[in-house]
Structure 1
Amino acid sequence: MYELKDKETIFVFTGPNGAGRRTVADMAGNTLGVKQVLSYTTRPPRPAEVNGQDYHFISGEQFVEAVRRNEFLEVIEIDGYMYGIKDKDVEDMLRENGAVYLVLNRHGADILKRLYGDNVVRICVYADRETILERQKERGDSALMIERYMSHFDEEMAYRAECEHAFENIDLAHTIFDLTKTLDSYLNRNLLDLD
């Protein structure tokens, strides 16, 4: 496992599926020049997802082989699909950038926090149940997928108290503004507040 240096930071975006955590993470990452470490999964892509952009979509056999070679920092199973983060991906991107971000559920966030301690900053992005249901319907999730995602809603919301920061994502621009200022305090990039 890669030994993080003092100033290296891993931002982990978590929260209920449909709260906009990936959108928020991507926008904040782009603003601050922080790169994403993608998870590997055996889950099939959703209609709008792109391999190598949202996840690395791999077969069950490829996943098992990577586990056998001890390539993953963490491996979890959710709803019958496997997810994992590769140690080498985290190491390479931290060496290059000094900070990275990941989008994970509470289990993955916990694993990284245990592995890297204070170098991991967990950010819960959340919204109320009705807002999330509406967003899932708008993006075309099936009733079965929505039911599966919502079965984790209460646990993901409860995890908010464990996170270093939490942002309610109702107004995306407002969320990004507040989040970017918060993340900049870790990066010491001193973004100008022109308000």
Structure 2
Amino acid sequence: MYELKDRDFIFAFTGPDGVGRKTVAHSIGSTLEIKRVISYTTRKPRPSELNGQDYHFVTLEQFKEAEANGEFLESVEINGNWYGINKRDIEEAFKQNGSFYLVVNPHGAEILKQMYGEHVVRLFIFADRDTVVQRQRQQGLSEQEVADHLTHYDADMAYKEQCEHAFPNYELAHTVFRGTNILETYLNRDLIEED
């Protein structure tokens, strides 16, 4: 078992579906050169998603077998699809990178917080309901998929108060700038020392 150091962090980007949490997280991760842990899911890829880049897309049988073998740190069913975070992926990310990020729903963020405590920093990304609907339609989601996601919107928004940081995502560049500054305070990689 890897022993965590003071500056080992999991940056958990969370919030309702359709707010752009994945785009924000990837932009910040790329800017700060932070590695990412990718979750597993049984749902079909959306038009713009790639296996191994957005999720590890697996069959229900593969997922259930991994779950039965105790491979997942957490797993949850949402709208008939299963999502999970592999324990080994988390352990390896800590060993190799110290700090890393992932994109999870509030349920996953809460489980990570319970397991890793102060080493988990939750960044709650949000937008109003109308913006979420508009973005999901632009992604090519069906009206049924949009409606399914909205059934969780209020419950997901209620998690905002429990997160260490929360900010809206209406202007991507501004959101990324703000998030990057927040992560920098945890990473404390400033090379300039002030007297």
Q: Aligned partners of 1:14 and 1:37: how far apart in 2? A: 14
Q: Decide whether the 8 Å contact of 2:2 with 2:95 is kept in 1.
A: no
Residue 188 of structure 1 pairs with residue 188 of structure 2:
yes
CA distance in 1, matches of 2:154, 2:167: 16
Identify the residue that residue 160 of structure 1 maps to in structure 2: 160
Cα distance in 1 between the residues matched to 2:117 and 2:26? 23
Query: Aligned-residue CA RMSD in angstroms?
Result: 1.3
Shift, 1:5, TM fit:
2.8
Question: Do the aligned residues in 1 keep the contact of 2:14 with 2:103 (CA within 8 Å)?
Answer: yes
Query: Is residue 2:150 matched to residue 1:150?
Result: yes
Measure, in 2, the Cα distance between the counterparts of 1:136 and 1:74.
26
Alignment correspondent of 2:35: 35
Q: CA, structure 1 residues 174+182, in 2 after alignment: closer, same or farther (shift >3 Å)? A: same
Aligned residues: 192
Gaps of 5+ in 1: none
Q: Secondary structure at the match of 2:94?
A: helix
Cα displacement string for residues 107-147 of structure 1 (whole angstroms, at most 9, x for unaligned residues):
00010000000000000000111111111111111000000
Superposition map of 1:49-68 within 5 A = 49-68=49-68
| Counterpart in the other structure of 1:109 | 109
**Residue 174 of structure 2 corresponds to which residue in structure 1?**
174
| Other structure's SS at 1:66 match | helix
Identity %: 54
CA distance in 2, matches of 1:4, 1:126: 30
Q: Tell me which amino acid in the other structure corresponds to 1:163.
A: C
TM-score by length of 2: 0.95
Any stretches of 5+ residues in structure 2 without a counterpart?
A: none
Shift of 1:4: 2.9
